[in-house]
């Protein structure tokens, strides 16, 4: 029986999708990556919300960012401390309405939350792949997701939606499978990473690789370069915020135990405590080698170089596009999002641009925003609209 038909319809109480569980798609055939390296097969972990309609064309794919995963809505157990990472956005009556859409979110190839990645066991050796795992690109991630869509029997996609690295995947979906996708919603993203973004990624990678416990990528599950990975996360998280949001949230407030004038390197300020917490929580759920692989995939994403120009890159796109930027995003600033729309328009495509005036930085697409919800709800229209 098709996996999509096995998933029970949960009661849409309080606008929540409720209890959900992940599923695994196992692709047994070999998969050749853009690098020319070959996986002997792969697994993708995914979750779905809502019900697939009779014509199998009401699906919406959600693409996650670097540190995200397949669990974007609902809860796995009543004891979960918090729901999926985009729970405010997905559910009955929400911007992505699961009363109308069948929503699919996949942990990317190269990830570490159930999909095949460097921490997965290589069936040829019985040991983790480590650095023998093939280099993956954004295009490889999308090609793998399309194989899952075929497995689920999806006739077409109503939309593909994502922010940051998720937005890169959204664009790649439109290029790679133009007749399959009707709407694209890339948010807080770019058509190619800037030198500054690559530089931040490299600092994070060096923090990991200079940790002696990295051991050239060969470390036990639950071990490895925990200090290096925590530092990489702390540094990256700063780029997801803005100066205004950090000042509003923390200012120069000190921790209660640090009100004395002692000159030490213990935590003195609330912002230090916050960043250390981000680093410590990240190392308990993310694999260091996956961080290396995924950030390198981000670095190599460059539609202009791949196609000669953005206009040529978008020549095959058939979907209508809504690009959403956030004024305080300095990682992928508004001008990089506008560039996408202008190139689409020059290529004769249907595209629109919205810039939201938030002070919350790059992560604004993840936070509560009635303005964003209204934009997306309007753009999606109804499942039957052209």
Give residue 325's pLDDT: 98
Mean pLDDT for 14-31 is 93
Q: How many residues does the chain have?
A: 386
Mean pLDDT for 21-45 is 97
pLDDT digits (tens, 9 = 90+) for 203-251: 999 999 999 999 999 999 889 999 999 999 999 999 999 999 999 999 9
Q: Find where tokens 């202008």 sit.
A: 342
Would strands 102-106 and 42-49 be described as parallel, antiparallel, or unpaired?
A: antiparallel
Task: Supply the DSSP symbol for 48.
Answer: E
Query: Among candidates 363, 376, 367, 382, which has minimal Cα distance to 323?
Result: 376
Give residue 34's pLDDT: 97
Q: How many helices, marked H, and strands, marked E, lie in the chain?
A: 12, 12
Asked whether the predicted pLDDT for residue 5 surpasses 50, the reply is no
Give residue 382's pLDDT: 54
* Torsion angle (degrees, nearest 10) of CA 311, 317, 319, 320: 10
Report the distance separating Cα 212 and Cα 215, nearest Å: 6
Distance of CA 371 to the CA centre of its chain: 21
- Where would I find the H helices in the chain? 3-6, 138-152, 165-176, 195-209, 226-240, 243-249, 270-283, 288-300, 303-307, 310-313, 334-346, 370-380
Mean pLDDT for 261-272 is 84
Give residue 120's pLDDT: 97
Q: Find where tokens 């604004």 sit.
A: 364
Query: Among candidates 142, 174, 205, which has minimal Cα distance to 319?
Result: 174
Active site residue 362: yes
Report the distance separating Cα 246 and Cα 144, nearest Å: 37
Report the distance separating Cα 106 and Cα 150, nearest Å: 14
Give residue 259's pLDDT: 57
Q: Which residues contact residue 370 at a Cβ distance below 8 angstroms, ignoring those fewer than 6 apart?
A: none
pLDDT band at 260, cuts 50/70/90?
low
DSSP 225-278: -HHHHHHHHHHHHHHHS-HHHHHHHTTTPBPGGG-S----SS--BHHHHHHHHH
| pTM (predicted TM-score) | 0.93
pLDDT band at 1, cuts 50/70/90?
very low
Mean pLDDT for 57-82 is 96
pLDDT band at 9, cuts 50/70/90?
very low
Asked whether the predicted pLDDT for residue 14 surpasses 70, the reply is no
Instruction: Strand 42-49: give its sheet, edge to edge.
Output: 23-27, 42-49, 102-106, 59-63, 157-163, 183-187, 320-326, 351-356
Mean pLDDT for 59-73 is 97
The better pLDDT of the pair 139, 12 is held by 139
For the chain, the structural domain boundaries read 3-192+303-380, 198-294
Mean pLDDT for 47-60 is 97
Catalytic member of 329, 363, 364, 369: 329
pLDDT band at 257, cuts 50/70/90?
low
Mean pLDDT for 96-102 is 97
Give residue 261's pLDDT: 61
Mean pLDDT for 374-386 is 76
Structure tokens at 299: 């670095």
Q: Is residue 247 a contact partner of residue 215, using CB atoms and an 8 Å limit?
A: no
**C-alpha angle 41/45/50, rounded to 5°?**
135
Instruction: Using DSSP, state whether 332 is helix, strand or coil.
Output: coil
Active site residue 3: no
Average pLDDT, the chain: 93
Give residue 165's pLDDT: 98
Residues of the chain with pLDDT > 90: what percent? 90
Distance of CA 229 to the CA centre of its chain: 18
Instruction: Using DSSP, state whether 347 is helix, strand or coil.
Output: coil
Mean pLDDT for 34-50 is 97
Catalytic member of 119, 164, 242, 364: 164
Asked whether the predicted pLDDT for residue 8 surpasses 60, the reply is no
Asked whether the predicted pLDDT for residue 280 surpasses 50, the reply is yes
Active site residue 245: no
- In CATH, what class is 3-192+303-380? alpha beta
Asked whether the predicted pLDDT for residue 371 surpasses 80, the reply is yes
Report the distance separating Cα 64 and Cα 45, nearest Å: 13
Report the distance separating Cα 137 and Cα 296, nearest Å: 8
Q: Is residue 299 a contact partner of residue 239, using CB atoms and an 8 Å limit?
A: no
Report the distance separating Cα 160 and Cα 140, nearest Å: 16
pLDDT band at 264, cuts 50/70/90?
confident
Structure tokens at 138: 């954004």
What is the greatest pairwise CA distance in the chain?
A: 68
Mean pLDDT for 164-184 is 98
Asked whether the predicted pLDDT for residue 4 surpasses 70, the reply is no
The helix (H) or strand (E) run that includes residue 31 is strand 31-32
Mean pLDDT for 66-89 is 96
Mean pLDDT for 173-197 is 98
- CATH code of domain 198-294: 1.10.1740.110
Give residue 25's pLDDT: 98
Give residue 7's pLDDT: 39
Catalytic member of 23, 70, 71, 362: 362
Asked whether the predicted pLDDT for residue 126 surpasses 90, the reply is yes
């Amino acid at each position: 029986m098709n996996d999509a038909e096995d998933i029970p319809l949960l009661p849409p109480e309080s606008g929540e999708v409720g209890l959900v569980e992940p599923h695994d798609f196992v692709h047994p055939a070999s998969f050749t990556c853009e690098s020319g390296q070959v996986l002997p097969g792969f697994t993708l972990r995914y979750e779905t919300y809502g019900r697939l309609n009779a014509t199998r064309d009401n699906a919406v794919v959600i693409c996650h960012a670097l540190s995200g995963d397949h669990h974007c809505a609902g809860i796995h157990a009543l004891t979960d401390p918090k729901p999926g990472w985009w729970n405010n956005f997905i559910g009955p009556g929400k911007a992505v309405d699961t009363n109308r859409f069948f929503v699919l979110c996949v942990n990317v190839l190269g990830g570490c939350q159930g999909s095949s990645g460097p921490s997965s066991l290589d069936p040829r050796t019985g040991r983790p792949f480590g650095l023998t795992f093939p280099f993956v690109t954004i295009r490889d991630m999308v090609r793998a997701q399309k194989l899952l869509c075929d497995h689920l029997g999806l006739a077409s996609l109503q939309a593909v939606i994502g922010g940051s690295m998720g937005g890169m995947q959204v664009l790649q979906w439109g290029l790679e499978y133009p007749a399959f996708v009707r709407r694209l919603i890339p948010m807080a993203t770019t058509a190619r990473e800037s030198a500054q973004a690559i530089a931040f990624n490299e600092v994070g990678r060096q923090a990991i690789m200079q940790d002696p416990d990295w051991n050239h990528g060969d470390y036990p599950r639950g071990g490895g370069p925990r200090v290096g990975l925590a530092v990489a996360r702390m540094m990256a998280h700063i780029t997801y915020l803005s100066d205004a949001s950090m000042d509003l949230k923390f200012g120069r407030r000190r921790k209660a135990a640090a009100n004395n004038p002692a000159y030490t390197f213990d935590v003195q300020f609330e912002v230090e405590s916050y960043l250390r917490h981000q680093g410590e929580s990240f190392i308990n759920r993310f694999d260091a080698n996956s961080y290396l692989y995924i950030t390198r995939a981000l670095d190599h994403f460059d539609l202009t170089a791949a196609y000669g120009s953005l206009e040529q890159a978008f020549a095959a796109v058939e979907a209508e596009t809504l690009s959403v930027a956030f004024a305080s995003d300095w990682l992928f600033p508004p001008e990089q999002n506008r560039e996408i729309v202008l190139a689409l328009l020059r290529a004769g495509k249907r595209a629109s641009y919205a810039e939201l005036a938030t002070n919350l930085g790059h992560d604004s697409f993840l936070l509560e925003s009635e303005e964003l919800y209204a934009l997306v709800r309007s753009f999606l229209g109804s499942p039957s609209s052209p």
